[in-house]
Amino acid sequence: MLDIRFVREHPDEVKENIKKKFQDQKLPLVDEVIALDAEYRAAISEADSLRANRNKLSKQIGMLMGQAKKDPSKAAEAEAVKAQVTAQADRLKELEAKEADLQVKIRDIMYTIPQMVDPSVPVGPDDSCNVEVQRFGECTVPDYPIPYHVDIMESFDGIDLDAAGRVSGNGFYYLLGDIARLHEAVLAYARDFMINKGFTYVIPPFMIHGNVVQGVMSFPEMDAMMYKIEGEDLYLIGTSEHSMIGRFIDQVIDGSKLPLTLTSYSPCFRKEKGAHGIEERGVYRIHQFEKQEMIVVCKPEDSMVWYDKLWHNSVELFRNLEIPVRQLDCCTGDLADLKVKSCDIEAWSPRQQKFFEVCSCSNLGDAQARRLRIRYKDENGKTQLAHTLNNTCVAPPRMLIAFLENHYQADGTVTIPEVLRPYMGGKALLVPTNKK
């Protein structure tokens, strides 16, 4: 969310940013919110004048009532002044109600106007305009066919989609045996990888209040993603970023303690509402999964440095697991409204002979901090808004797809990279139990 003062002082820049994001329908909101803000400030100014005058008149009434003991005519003057105070009190009440109403209208519009994107973000209407920056690892295609990921899992008796469909519906799964163990091994390795990077491991709440949801994401995202608990002010998190950033709501952090570098584990729950939908048979897009996340809360001048560190962490982790990846800069039209800059890390799929998204790294600037009032004291004792960043460390359902395809052998076995073997009981190879 932008600062209303910035919108007021730089309306043309805000409008140009909206155009870059291909959201021209929002352009009238800029002039509308500036007009509402002018009305709001005028109401505040008049109310402040009335309050100051009320104090002055109250003293005058006291003085006149004191004089009335000797001069009865002063009592009539005092009553006249009291009537004036009463009339001003009624006007003050009107102004205070107007202030509250305008404040809500301004806030709602400001929630809708997108964050200013970084100048380095490529301009484009949708993800087809995202720009490949660099690749890491050799993207090979073996001379033998690689089955669909569900077929690979089934060869290890490692997945039961039919039972999950009966129990929970489409978009859920049971993982079993070595595949379930591999799922947990990847999470455990990612946890230790991030701890070794100096990040603090956290297990956060998996449900959050509505005001936290509004603070961490835009309304379109909220509608497309979040599950609400019926009858309660609680939502299931779509990623641990939501409760991790929410942890600092209304807090003033000691600036000497920044940056806060955190890595969090959580299950994630998503409606997956929209054009993509849920696959009939697979674990690429699902309603429930687990994830290891990276979170940074830092000073504004450090946020771009941390942005680069975070996505490089993802690249290093995937390369340690011997999975080729590439980095894509997300274009303006593919950025959620709260994001300043974002990139995707995509893993190589030798079966499809293309890349697919496995991580998303985002710098949100002060957008979440402004909504949630996350501040810090700088070296001069001045209160400033912090910057927040997040990045997927690893989300095993998609990671499992990339892992199984890149380590699948012609005989149906799956190799285990050396870094993962301690988490797999020393196994270097998974052997299928249900070859068809």
Structural domains of the chain ordered from first start: 4-112 (1.10.287.40), 127-430 (3.30.930.10)
| pLDDT confidence band for 67 (50 / 70 / 90) | low
Taking the alpha carbons at both ends of the chain, their separation in whole angstroms is: 54
Q: Is the dihedral of CA 341, 298, 190, 397 positive or negative?
A: negative
Closest C-alpha among 394, 371, 301 to residue 110: 371
Closest C-alpha among 123, 114, 121 to residue 367: 114
Mean pLDDT, the chain, whole residue set = 90
Tokens encoding 65 = 């009532």
| Of 125 and 218, the one with more pLDDT | 125
Q: Is the predicted pLDDT of residue 128 greater than 70, yes or no?
A: yes
Q: State residue 275's pLDDT score.
A: 43
Beta pairing partners, 201: 263
Q: How far apart are CA 56 and CA 254, in angstroms?
A: 42
Q: State residue 93's pLDDT score.
A: 85
Q: State residue 435's pLDDT score.
A: 67
The residue type at 125: P
Q: Is the predicted pLDDT of residue 219 greater than 80, yes or no?
A: no
- Tokens 């799922």 sit at which residue? 183
Counting Cα atoms < 13 Å in the Cβ hemisphere of 181 gives 15
Structure confidence by residue, pLDDT tens digits, 199-210: 999 999 999 999
DSSP 44-112: HHHHHHHHHHHHHHHHHHHHHHHHTTT-THHHHHHHHHHHHHHHHHHHHHHHHHHHHHHHHHHHHHHHH
DSSP 414-430: EE--GGGGGGGTT-SEE
Tokens encoding 133 = 């920056």
- Tokens 């997945």 sit at which residue? 159
The residue type at 24: D
Q: Is the predicted pLDDT of residue 338 greater than 50, yes or no?
A: yes
Rounded average pLDDT over 38-60: 79
- Tokens 């497309």 sit at which residue? 224
Contacts of 315 (CB under 8 A, 6+ apart): 136, 325, 327, 345
Q: How far apart are CA 316 and CA 306, in angstroms?
A: 15
Closest C-alpha among 187, 180, 123 to residue 156: 180
Q: State residue 341's pLDDT score.
A: 98
Tell me, what DSSP letter sits at residue 151? Answer: H
Q: Is the predicted pLDDT of residue 362 greater than 60, yes or no?
A: yes
Q: Where are the beta strands (DSSP E) in 217-339?
A: 227-228, 235-236, 252-254, 260-269, 288-298, 325-329
Backbone region of residue 406 per phi and psi (left: phi > 0; alpha: psi in -120 to 50; beta: other values): alpha
Counting Cα atoms < 13 Å in the Cβ hemisphere of 292 gives 25
How many whole angstroms from its chain centre is CA 121? 18
**Residue 259: is the preceding peptide bond cis (ω within 30°)?**
yes
Q: How far apart are CA 133 and CA 289, in angstroms?
A: 29
Helix (H, G, I), strand (E, B) or coil at 156: coil
Q: State residue 77's pLDDT score.
A: 63
Beta pairing partners, 427: none
How many whole angstroms from its chain centre is CA 284? 21
For residue 260, give Cα distances in angstroms to 207, 385, 386. Answer: 22, 14, 11
Q: Is the predicted pLDDT of residue 280 greater than 50, yes or no?
A: yes
Q: State residue 78's pLDDT score.
A: 55
388 in Cβ contact with 369 (< 8 Å): yes
Closest C-alpha among 63, 121, 169, 40 to residue 342: 121
Structure confidence by residue, pLDDT tens digits, 364-417: 999 999 999 999 999 889 999 999 999 999 998 889 999 999 999 999 999 999
Lowest mean pLDDT among 195-209, 260-274, 331-345, 367-381: 260-274
Q: How far apart are CA 286 and CA 290, in angstroms?
A: 11
Rounded average pLDDT over 274-285: 63
Instruction: Supply the angle between the helices 303-320 and 177-196 in degrees, to the nearest 10.
Output: 140
Q: Is the predicted pLDDT of residue 430 greater than 90, yes or no?
A: yes
